[in-house]
């Protein structure tokens, strides 16, 4: 009895019997980066490659060592994640402490800075008053010299 294959299967068997190379399948061209790839496309490709690499590592562990090794690896990753999260919390706490100390120092220094600013403003005001007074004296001197010159010329 002759086997009765479906048309697609029969076409594939005929291709193999004829020695023709396999054609078709998934078009991998859409996964390749062009010469003018943008930074966002490169970042997306990197993220995708990292994901595939991690997945391949997990599947390799699962295939090679079985379920337990894969679970141990995941447990190690979870422990690493937990450690990093704890370190992050410590750093956030340190940051908050530093910011509170900085703010405290600024609040404590505010009255002194305000007093110094007031002294500076008063000093500038006095300097301007002295300059204005000196200019008035100069003008008075010039006025009197003109008057003397006019009296002497008359």
Angle, helices 67-153 vs 39-65, to 10°: value is: 150
Summarize pLDDT for 15-43 with one digit per residue, the tens: 889 988 877 776 666 667 666 677 887 88
pLDDT for 93: 97
CB contact burial 43-75 (16+ within 10 A = b; e otherwise)? eeeeeeeeeeeeeeeeeebeeeeeeeebeeeee
pLDDT tens-digit map of 92-130: 999 999 999 999 999 999 999 999 999 999 999 999 999
Work out the average pLDDT over 1-19.
86
Rg (C-alpha) for the chain, rounded Å, is: 44
Write down the domain spans for the chain. 42-153
């Amino acid at each position: 009895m002759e086997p009765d294959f479906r048309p697609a299967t029969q076409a594939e068997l005929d291709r193999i019997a004829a020695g023709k190379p396999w054609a078709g399948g998934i078009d991998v061209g859409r996964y390749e980066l062009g010469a003018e790839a943008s930074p966002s496309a490169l970042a997306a490709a990197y993220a995708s490659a990292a994901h595939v690499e991690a997945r391949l590592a997990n599947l390799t562990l699962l295939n090679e060592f079985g379920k337990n090794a894969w679970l141990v690896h995941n447990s190690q990753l979870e422990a690493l994640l937990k450690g990093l999260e704890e370190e992050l919390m410590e750093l956030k706490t340190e940051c908050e402490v530093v910011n509170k100390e900085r703010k405290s120092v600024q609040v404590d220094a505010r009255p002194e800075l305000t007093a110094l600013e007031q002294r500076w403003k008063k000093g500038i005001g006095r300097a301007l008053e002295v300059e204005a007074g000196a200019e008035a004296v100069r003008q008075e001197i010039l006025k009197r010299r003109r008057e003397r010159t006019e009296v002497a010329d008359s």
